[in-house]
Amino acid sequence: MSEVAARAVPQGEIADEPIAIEHGMTAEEYASVCEILGRQPTVTEIGMYSVMWSEHCSYKSSRVHLKTLPVEGEAVLQGPGENAGAVDLGDGIAGVFKVESHNHPSYIEPYQGAATGVGGILRDIITMGARPLALLDSLRFGELDSGKNRHLLDGVVGGIAGYGNCMGIPTVGGEICFDPSYDKNPLVNAMCFGIAPADRIVKALADGIGNPVIYVGAKTGRDGIYGVSLLASATFDAEAAEKRPAVQVGDPFTEKVLMEACLEIIEKNLQVGMQDFGGAGLTCATSEMASNSGNGMEIDVALVPRRETGLSPYEVMLSESQERMMLVTTPEKISEVMEIFEKWDLDAVVIGKVTDDGLLRVLDDGVMVAEVPAHSLAEEGPCYSRPYTIADTPAPLNGADVPCEVAPAEVLQTLLRDPNIASKRWVFQQYDQTVRYNTVQRAGGEAAVIWLKEAGSDAAVAMSLDGNPWYSGLDARRGAQLAVAEACRNVACTGARPLGITNCLNFGSPEIEERMGQFAAAVEGMGEACRVLGVPVTGGNVSFYNETVETPILPTPVVGAVGKLDRYDASVRSGFAAAGNTVWMVGAFATSDAGLGGSAYVRNFHDRQIGAPPELDLELEARLQNFLVAAAAEGLMASAKDCSDGGFAVALAEACFAAADAARTDSAQASAPASSLPGMLGANVEIPACEHGVHAALFGEAASRVLVSARGEHATALAALAVRHDVPIAAIGEVTAAAQLTVDVAGETVLGEDVQELYATWSGALAHAMEND
């Protein structure tokens, strides 16, 4: 205590408990700050603690649960903790990836909110020393009969496209769901994948006492400053408050040159450490880098480049202006570093140095305005075990619970028209999917496939981002398991072996026991699925408070899986390849649960959320994925399509469409008529009866099922391989040259549809819904 008292005290107004509370802190949190400092904090200091100890930065409600996730595995090079996780892709290549949410800003201003979300996840990957190779996005909106929701979708997609396209990074996959629970809380999650040399992953370190600390990139403005309510306090005049923009404008051009400059510096190994300015801006970057190295740091905010006048030290430390990075280098290398920034016309300034006292010291033109232990900001935030209640597991839904008179053909048309199932071409056509020329499989298949050409390799990665919110809404635990299973299964369908996952956990308020229970159950389920499937979690993101007074969102755990393929040119596609091939059903097609609970069919025809989500036998799922990887490696599969939303019949139709989609290169409008499309195939199959009825057989969403097609000469080998993997398999029919989809159930023809017509419905539905003004 006496030692602390002997030190100089920072200048500036003292923050008392009410000011801390206005910053969203609790009285107890304020007391711990006082204890850490041995004195009352200044307003600048309390601002810094409030952001670093916020839910967003400190994970105070989620940490106890996240700790239970499996994070280790053979392939893991970097688990959770750094800016992104990394897995070993062989040949000295690290695959670096992570998913992040930008939900709230996207509701206020969809274009800019989504754009800056993409900018943020890109910086997380770049900071690791990796060159980003691909983006994916997971989106949730209310239904499209509302103009507001169409406006949100249009803006969000435009923002993702605007940022990713300008950066020159292809957006190659993702998913979208529409449900009324997202009306006032749309979700925008973005995932990025990049590669770095495995032995040169960059960390957020501030090693080397005396080393210079460099600020580079965009100038600082009053963007995104937290704690607006604080302005009641005398220090901050109301005028300044009005100047704080509620939304930030993304600047992908600056980010692009920033990326090129940083990657050039890393390639020449001129950095000691690097960190982006994420949430909590300068405060976060300085305290985390210093703390990670067990050091301190001294910076002078007067040196920070600004785009407006009159910013206070408080504002500079808390600003969340985008497109900025912090870099620590050595005195010997600094001129070379600065030359590179100059080449790219970037503002770069030495704003401070690494110190040995463990303190983050903030000066304003030489006058000390804050001095706090860096470790206390970065690592000593509160950690809560919030009370929670877990809802009872619902009973499975039987066919008899949901009788349906509508003919199967009409059900199929309705499902294909449902924007949740319809083609997402209207969306992904706006994304540059081919820049850098690594994209082997674009959006539209089971998983995106990206060639690692830039690392001089013939290998590729497959990536998928999934999470069915209706399943999670019925049973958060199983919903999370199903998300892990689907993401990994989609990856395995291409022939890639899943190596790890990242996740984005979007939930309501953690302060409400029921929501906290959903979160706890989801994390538990996710951990269990990861253990059985052998895929560790390398990182992720939690987004709480996605609720308005009336409604919380459906609990939405989203899982991004990454897998490796040895050869980029050997990936398996989802569409049927050739007439005459045999159609096989592989996996859990004989279970007693038909997967009606939470299904698109029941949502559309019974308008209710009842029952349990599909049963999931994780052991069988693991065997199925192993089988898929092995079958692809032996070249036995001509196509593989996961049965998910809409069940078997929709999967079968989509396998026909995908063949046509691949050849569809000419039509100007996404909603153009599908007449005379080249490559359109059909299928003729027979499936056994289901105890829950014909509709359940066709549209139930039983998990762990994959529709495989294979050349006739591979039949014996494929069946034998399935037996070896202890995975059920049955030949159910064949691919036909006639674009006709025929399904018999137990000898009776229940579907006999023109594929062209189905395709027209499916391919045009989303564009049509968006034009519905």
Partner 1 sequence: MRGQVVVRLKQEVLDPQGVTIAKALDNLGYEGVGSLRQGKVFDVELATSDPAVARTALESMAKDLLANPVIEDYEIHLLEDGSGNGEEGNG
Partner 2 sequence: MRVGVVYYPGSNCEQDAVHACHMVGLDTELVWHKRESVDGCDAIILAGGFSYGDHLRCGALAQFSPVMKQVERFAADGHPILGICNGFQILVEMGLLPGALLANDGLKFRCQDTRMMVERTDSPFTNACAEGQILCLNMAHYAGNYFADEATLADIEANAQVVMRFCGPNGERGAEHNPNGSINDIAALRNPAGNVLGLMPHPERTLTSELGSADGLLMFESLRDALTASASAEVAASPEPAEAEAVEAEPVGTSADV
Q: Which does 709 bind (CB under 5 to 8 A by kind): partner 1, ligand ADP, Mg ion, none?
A: none
Whose Cβ is closer to partner 2: residue 355's or residue 671's? 671
Q: Counting Cβ atoms within 10 Å, is residue 607 exposed (0-12), middle (13-18) or buried (19+)?
A: exposed
Q: What angle do CA 700, 706, 708 make, to 5 degrees?
A: 130
Q: Which does 249 bind (CB under 5 to 8 A by kind): ligand ADP, partner 2, partner 1, none?
A: partner 1
The β-bridge partners of 439 are 450
Q: Annotated catalytic, 102?
A: yes
**In which residue are the tokens 């020159």 written?**
168
Q: Which two tokens stand for residue 719?
A: 């069946």
User: Which residues of this protein are in contact with partner 2, per CB under 8 A?
Assistant: 158, 161-162, 165-168, 251-254, 256-257, 260, 343-345, 428-437, 439-440, 451, 453-454, 568-569, 665-669, 672, 678
Task: Determine contact, residues 538/619, Cβ cutoff 8 Å.
Answer: no
- CA 116/CA 160 separation, integer angstroms: 8
Query: DSSP secondary-structure letter at 78?
Result: E
Whose Cβ is closer to ligand ADP: residue 276's or residue 432's? 432
- Minimum CB separation of residue 106 from partner 1 in Å reads 12
Taking CB under 6 A as the rule, which mask of x and - marks residues 335-374 in contact with ligand ADP? ----------------------------------------
Q: How many residues does the chain have?
A: 773
Please, what's the b/e burial string for 104-136 (b: 16 or more CB within 10 A of its CB; e: otherwise)? ebbbebbbbbbbbbbbbbbbbbbbbbbbbbbbb
Q: Which two tokens stand for residue 422?
A: 């319809």
Q: What angle do CA 442, 444, 447 make, to 5 degrees?
A: 70
Single out the segment in contact with ligand ADP by CB under 6 A; choices: 376-384, 408-416, 641-649, 673-681. 641-649
Q: Which does 175 bind (CB under 5 to 8 A by kind): Mg ion, partner 2, partner 1, none?
A: Mg ion
Count of residues near Mg ion by CB under 5 A? 2
- CA 554/CA 182 separation, integer angstroms: 8
If one asks whether residue 490 binds ligand ADP (CB under 6 A), the answer comes out as: yes
Whose Cβ is closer to partner 1: residue 246's or residue 578's? 246
Neighbours of 18 (CB within 10 A): 12
Task: Determine contact, residues 497/87, Cβ cutoff 8 Å.
Answer: no
Q: Which does 244 bind (CB under 5 to 8 A by kind): partner 2, partner 1, ligand ADP, none?
A: partner 1
- Minimum CB separation of residue 496 from partner 2 in Å reads 15
If one asks whether residue 175 binds Mg ion (CB under 5 A), the answer comes out as: yes
* C-alpha pair distances (Å), 549 with each of 5, 109, 509, 552, 765: 46, 20, 11, 8, 32
- Minimum CB separation of residue 428 from Mg ion in Å reads 13
Backbone angles phi, psi at 683, to 5 degrees: -150, 150
If one asks whether residue 137 binds Mg ion (CB under 5 A), the answer comes out as: no
DSSP reduced 3-state for 75: coil
Whose Cβ is closer to partner 1: residue 222's or residue 725's? 222
User: Which residues of this protein are in contact with partner 1, per CB under 8 A?
Assistant: 108-109, 112, 218, 221-223, 243-251, 253-254, 307-308, 321, 345, 773
Q: Which does 305 bind (CB under 5 to 8 A by kind): ligand ADP, partner 1, partner 2, none?
A: none
- For ligand ADP, the binding residue among 10, 159, 164, 174 (CB under 6 A) is 174
- Minimum CB separation of residue 348 from partner 1 in Å reads 15
- Minimum CB separation of residue 57 from partner 2 in Å reads 30
- Minimum CB separation of residue 487 from ligand ADP in Å reads 8
DSSP reduced 3-state for 595: coil
- CA 136/CA 192 separation, integer angstroms: 6
DSSP string, 690-743: -TT-HHHHHH---SSEEEEEE-GGGHHHHHHHHHHTT--EEEEEEEESS-EEEE
Q: Annotated catalytic, 714?
A: no
Task: Determine contact, residues 737/752, Cβ cutoff 8 Å.
Answer: no
Return the amino acid letter for 754: D
If one asks whether residue 176 binds ligand ADP (CB under 6 A), the answer comes out as: yes
- For ligand ADP, the binding residue among 22, 45, 100, 137 (CB under 6 A) is 137
- For ligand ADP, the binding residue among 645, 661, 701, 753 (CB under 6 A) is 645
Whose Cβ is closer to partner 1: residue 307's or residue 608's? 307
If one asks whether residue 701 binds Mg ion (CB under 5 A), the answer comes out as: no
If one asks whether residue 471 binds ligand ADP (CB under 6 A), the answer comes out as: no
- Minimum CB separation of residue 667 from partner 2 in Å reads 6
Q: Which of 102, 692, 714, 725 is catalytic?
A: 102
Residues known to be catalytic? 56, 102
Residues that bind Mg ion (CB under 5 A): 175, 466
